[in-house]
Amino acid sequence: MAQMLVEKGYDVFGMVRGQANPKIRMIQEETPKLELVEGDLQDLSSLIAAVEQVQPDEVYNLGAISFVALSFRQAELTADITGLGVLRMLEAVRIVGGPDSQGSGNKIRFYQASSSEMFGKVRETPQTEMTPFHPRSPYGAAKVFGHYITVNYRESYDLFATSGICFNHESPRRGLEFVTRKVSNGVARIKLGLQEKLTLGNLDAARDWGYAGDFCEAMWLMLQQDTPEDYVIATGETHTIGELLELAFTAAGIEDWSRLVESDPRFTRPAEVDILTGDASKARAQLGWKPKVDFPELVRMMVESDLAIEAGDPTHRY
């Protein structure tokens, strides 16, 4: 997101928590023009100070505890950051924003990263903006609060506040704890002789996976509209973990891979989300958005990146 906005000519500020945040150096190396400001989604006063310092035109709230499995182990913390953190960010925008150029509403446009995990035990397939929510994790429940409090601030305070109900979006930068990156990195390590097997949880789970760069474009487009609305952002295609594995091993040149993968019940969730498929018809019609990177290309991109990383290629950039 930061790189895309810099390329569009924005002055971009990224909020970081803590004095010795280990990701600061990586962020600065990847996007040198990004300026960093301190703030904490658990501390309203710090958010007000950050918004006052930057005086932004647009705020993209992508911060959250985003690993679903962790949310079961730290449910209260997830609720505080992923849920109440949205309320605090909206409150900072409301307090600092002031009237827009027409003297009505708030001059700051706000984007909230909602999630397909809000649908959980799906009531219909595919899922649209009107599909009821049934979250199956503390993460999903916290995201539902964040989604509806964004709607509430839009309706109560005339904020330009919009939510993108984003289905899974991946890239080579995905954390190693997420299944797509766990697969791409594990396959790369197996290919290079650094690992013998890949151990996963539910191999039958199916998701609508897209490329993070495409989704960031949709987020930006949402804040360029005349009126704030909520949009499902998805590819409309569903793929199983098995399909992910097939594509990943093929990208690494490994044909007979079934003996290299194991399923371990320790990696299953207490309440599983079996299938998610998004209908992004509204985004296609109103935003003119559609994904550019398909699933096979996404998987190939991630495997090739991890092969370079695990081989110690000093020139590798993604």
202 pLDDT more than 90? no
Which alpha helices (H) appear in 100-259, and where do they start and end? 138-157, 179-191, 212-222, 241-251
**189 part of a folded domain:** no
Of 139, 153, 211, 231, which one is the catalytic site residue?
139
Confidence (pLDDT) at 23? 79
Of 46, 60, 116, 117, which one is the catalytic site residue?
117
Give the 3-state secondary structure of residue 224.
coil
**266 part of a folded domain:** no
Backbone angles phi and psi of 265, in degrees to 5: -60, -15
Backbone angles phi and psi of 101, in degrees to 5: -65, -20
Give the 3-state secondary structure of residue 136.
coil
Beta bridge partners of 13: 35
Give the CA-trace dihedral at 245, 250, 251, 257, to 10 degrees.
60
Confidence (pLDDT) at 101? 65
User: What total of structural domains would you count in the chain?
Assistant: 1
161 pLDDT more than 80? yes
Question: Contact 36/16 with Cβ under 8 angstroms?
Answer: yes
Provide the CATH number for the domain around residue 219: 3.40.50.720
Q: How far apart are CA 237 and CA 308, in angstroms?
A: 28
Question: Contact 232/283 with Cβ under 8 angstroms?
Answer: yes
**110 part of a folded domain:** yes
**197 part of a folded domain:** no
Q: Annotated catalytic, 139?
A: yes
67-126: per-residue pLDDT in tens? 898 999 999 999 999 999 999 999 999 999 977 766 667 799 999 999 999 999 999 999
Mean pLDDT value across residues 16-23:
81
**142 part of a folded domain:** yes
Helices 241-251 and 179-191 sit at what angle, rounded to 10 degrees? Answer: 30
Of 115, 171, 184, 305, which one is the catalytic site residue?
115
Give the 3-state secondary structure of residue 16.
strand
**179 part of a folded domain:** no
- Name the residue among 202, 182, 201 with its Cα closest to residue 190: 182
Backbone angles phi and psi of 297, in degrees to 5: -65, -40
Boundaries of domain holding 165: 2-173+209-237+277-293
Mean pLDDT value across residues 218-229:
98
Q: Residue 116 has what DSSP assignment?
A: G
**188 part of a folded domain:** no
**95 part of a folded domain:** yes
232-243: per-residue pLDDT in tens? 999 999 999 999
